[in-house]
Chain A
Amino acid sequence: MIELRNLSIFYGETQVVKEVSLSIARGASFALVGESGSGKSTILKALAGQVTDWTGQIRLGDHSLEHGRDPALVRLCQMVFQDPFGSLHPRKSVDATLSEPLAIHRIGRQNERVLEAMDAVGLARKFRFRLPHQLSGGQRQRVAIARALMLNPPILLLDEPTSALDVSVQAEVLNLLKSLREDHGLTYFLVTHDLPVVSFLCDELGVLRNGELTEVTSVERLKQGNLQSEYGNELLSKSH
């Protein structure tokens, strides 16, 4: 579903991602882990079309990603951001946030679709006309997930989706992400530094260091505390 071939990404003169190749099957849940500055978020941004200075090939399903603005991209993959406080428009109600993608893409049945999406992410219908500041962190993240699902994309990009949340709320959002994937057959590409979250939500992981992929392995090996690369195990020993 997601295929990267010799992907290199540049910020001006600096090469931040070096010749990364990856292949993620349809319906899989893949995690990219690494320290800050390793380039993991940069890869996510390239997939989302936010970073355009890259070489190599990015394929999403049957579609080869173009440099620059690619209108096909938004129907293929959507992103959920880390900070539910910063990623929702403060003066748009839940209803406005969720209807906007439908209006842009001229999709009908807006009323029903908004309600369906709210039901799907477990957000009570009474919140429909609330503004973000009237919602809790967990509820906001539900809105962000619902928004990402409005266009029914097969791929979801998740950028540390729970690290800004309390552990009990994190559990709710992780459960939601897990059941959404099962119900809709979604493919997940998760970027995080929280290895236990990977253990719960994913089945494969890649370890990134200084822009280079040091290993790709099954989450089963992570659960057994036995990654292949030395660096992977070092990362494992540092998290508690």
Chain B
Amino acid sequence: MSLLTVENLRVSFPTEQGRVEVVKGISFELGRERLGIVGESGSGKSMTGRALLRLIREPGLVTADQMNFDGIDLLTLPEKGMRSLRGARLSMVMQDPKFSLNPVMRIGDQISEVLRFHGRLNRRARRQRVLQALQSVRIQDPERVYLQYPHEVSGGMGQRIMIAMMVVLEPDLMIADEPTSALDVSVQSQVLDIMDDLVRNKGMGLILISHDLNLVARYCDRILVMFNGRIVESCIASELHQASHPYTRGLLASVPTMDERRERLPVLDRALLEGLETHD
């Protein structure tokens, strides 16, 4: 049985020119696997992630024919039920640890807050779980980090702390929105490897949202490519390089390689792509 079923999901926002749809009716299913969503800024990939957690506020509007998570209807679930789901069973890792951690709260207390909200553990047991979570993201001296504030740790460590916070309750599905784009290349793979380990070992589902095609191809089983609010291509990660849609092909070609011999990089023909869309 699939963990998540989404059918005809639409997200729109009002503007002076009327409502604009940023996600235009997408459907997909997810099991306990790793799904990548790629696309450029404005393609609707982040809005899709947020819509799943019902994090889109008024005046944004989310509609769908179906949005089902493990038998729970996310469309009709009251906000109270949604709150107990978020973090515990469905969680999200944000892009930038600098803006997503509370700057005036000790790291250990921040992670433990999740446990206090969702669980019935006593103080000592909570502390143990937090230390374990920190260890599971390969933080060497969890006792010291427990007492530190976010500004005292590096970006890579900050992102690992965010991941620890998300996995401490062992959710069924983790949504990671550009989890490494604020990090140095040299720590990116380290953070992704840690995430990958946790997902595999605990059998979680993962939705990895990113603009980096190669990265997604490396860490996911399946890939959805989004353009202008629609899914234009869906493929097995290992077959990304045989992708057929002109947008996917264009994106792949425009990335410089380590052994770059081309005089000019090919650029997307946006007029052509938008033309394709209206003919669909």
Residues on A lying within 8 angstroms of B by beta carbon are 35-36, 137, 166-172, 174-175, 178, 193-197, 199-200, 222-225, 235-236, 238-240
Contact = CB atoms under 8 A, between A and B. Distances in A.
A193 B40 CA distance: 21
A220 to B, nearest CB: 10
Contact of A168 (B215, B250, B261): B250
A106 B40 CA distance: 42
B198 interface: no
27 contacts: A35-B184, A35-B185, A36-B184, A170-B254, A171-B256, A175-B264, A175-B265, A178-B264, A194-B185, A196-B255, A196-B256, A196-B258, A196-B260, A199-B256, A199-B259, A200-B260, A200-B265, A222-B258, A223-B258, A223-B261, A225-B258, A225-B259, A238-B186, A239-B186, A239-B258, A240-B189, A240-B215
A23 B268 CA distance: 37
Contact of A171 (B212, B213, B257, B267): B267
In terms of DSSP, what is the predominant structure of the interface of chain A? helix
B31 interface: no
A168 B251 contact: yes
A167 B184 contact: no
Contacts, number: 79
B256 A235 contact: no
B155 interface: yes
Interface in B238-255: 250-251, 254-255
A167 B185 contact: no
Interface of B: 40-41, 155, 184-186, 189, 211-215, 218, 250-251, 254-268
A168 B189 contact: no
Contacts of A196: 255-258, 260
A166 B266 CA distance: 14
Contacts of B264: 175, 178
Contacts of A35: 184-186
A239 B186 CA distance: 7
A200 B259 CA distance: 8
A147 to B, nearest CB: 23
Contacts of A225: 258-259
Contacts of A172: 267
A196 B261 CA distance: 11
Given A35-B186, A238-B185, A240-B218, A200 B267 contact: no
A119 to B, nearest CB: 18
B184 A171 contact: no
A230 to B, nearest CB: 14
B185 A168 contact: no
A14 B40 CA distance: 40
A210 to B, nearest CB: 13
B265 A238 contact: no
B100 to A, nearest CB: 19
Given A36-B184, A240-B189, A166 B41 contact: yes
A167 to B, nearest CB: 5
B211 A224 contact: no
B16 to A, nearest CB: 14
Nearest to B156: A36
A224 B260 CA distance: 10
B177 to A, nearest CB: 15
B266 A240 contact: no
